[in-house]
Amino acid sequence: MKRRRVVIAGLGDVGVLTAIRLSRHAEVTGISVKPGLVSGQELGVRLSRPADWARDYWIPFDRFRRLESVRTIQAALTGVDLAARTVAGRREDGTPIAVEYDALVISTGVTNGFWRRPTLQSAAEIEADLRAAHARLAAAGSVIVVGGGVAAVSSAANMATTWPGKRIDLYFPGERALPAYHPRTWRRIQGRLTDLGVGLHPGHRAEVPDGFAGDEISAEPVRWSTGQPPACAAAVLWAIGRVRPNTGWLPPELLDAYGFVRVTPELRVPGQRGVFAVGDVAATDPLRSSARNRGDALVAHNVRAEFAGRRLRGYRAPGRRWGSLLGIQPDGLEVFLPSGQAFRLPPWSVERVVMPGFVRWGMYRGIRANDPLI
């Protein structure tokens, strides 16, 4: 019996996990603008300790054991023919591609700052980007971080840990940062930032300069629509959460008013049999939380269930965000629960159990060792 063809459009965090889960059940093709997994997670570690970040979050596809049977194509997506069930794209040299599918999983994610862009890049270009951002911040005597979400908070904390002599200030619009988390979470992180010497400035809403997309580290004074005097630093990191879905290749009728892919509770695109969406690109809930709550497992199950004519399962979004906020630190890994309570995993357990056992084997089903990429 001929195996069903599944196309995974986008091989970021959730796309790779979906491809791994389907690799033994279908003929899977993954299309990505990168030559490997370049995660959007842990911006703070990426900027302050890029070699540590690359070890866990920049992984060429050929190192994933369970992607051996998956055909990966490096190309930018340009369109989809829903009637012919074909995805179109363009390789870096301009060569067009067309891939037929029986099921399509849209997981193209979002654009968010310079660290999450849907641009075709080689391994050398990715590594050069990592080094350049790190060098820019390392050379700055003072840094302003603008934003109140995880990326901003993590960046401020990790830079203060790596460069204790550097003046770092975090500006955010509300009374507290991390509004999607339990208030108890922010109180704990606030204490950590204060101990690290980070200046905290609530109630500051930045004026984004005309034409500025927040996709570079700038040095211009930051002005505030909330009336405070401008703030200056040698480097300004914009992490304001101005995300843009990577859906320009899709027909408008599949999208909501903000450009995200409309989905049913089963993560299926309404009116399109065999077409699913998962991750940050899918309009599941205001936090688009299927990117972080086993959405890959659900969508992989539902693809197989649809092929077999079985009932599909529904996705239930959590009320609050949870998980690690600062990434792996010298004193271990702190994980926050939806209740705001936290537990810490000691460094030895992260190094010997969590990363090799739960992550590389448990989540990814095996990753081959390799020399450091940067």
Q: 80: which 2 tokens? A: 């989809």
Question: Nearest 5 degrees, angle CA 100-CA 315-CA 150?
Answer: 95
pLDDT tens, position by position, 91-140: 999 999 999 999 999 999 999 888 999 999 999 999 999 999 999 999 99
Q: What pLDDT, in 10s, does the model give residues 71-99?
A: 999 999 999 999 999 999 999 999 999 99
User: What is the rounded average pLDDT of the residues 4-26?
Assistant: 97
Q: Has residue 373 got a pLDDT over 60?
A: no
> Could you tell me the CA-to-CA distances from 148 to 107, 116, 172, 179, 330 in Å, in that order?
26, 18, 5, 8, 24
**Cβ proximity of 276 and 263 under 8 Å:** yes
Strands (E) across the chain are located at 5-9, 27-32, 36-38, 58-60, 71-74, 76-81, 86-90, 96-100, 103-106, 110-111, 142-146, 167-171, 199-201, 235-238, 244-245, 275-277, 323-324, 333-336, 342-345
Enumerate the CATH 3.50.50.60 domain ranges in the chain, comma separated: 5-33+75-112+243-308, 127-238
pLDDT above 90: residue 17:
yes
* Sign of the CA dihedral with 74 first, then 260, 53, and 322 last: negative
Average pLDDT of the residues of the chain: 94
Q: Say yes or no to pLDDT of 6 above 90.
A: yes
Edge-to-edge, what's the strand order for the sheet holding 235-238?
199-201, 167-171, 142-146, 235-238
Q: Which two tokens stand for residue 41?
A: 């997670």
pTM, entire model: 0.94
CATH architecture of 5-33+75-112+243-308: 3-Layer(bba) Sandwich (3.50)
| Count of CB atoms situated within 10 Å of the CB of 337 | 14
Q: Specify the CATH superfamily of domain 127-238.
A: FAD/NAD(P)-binding domain (3.50.50.60)
Which whole number is the average pLDDT over 196-202? 98
Residue 45 amino acid letter: V
Q: Beta partners for 98?
A: 88
pLDDT > 70? residue 372: no
Strand runs labelled E in 161-262: 167-171, 199-201, 235-238, 244-245
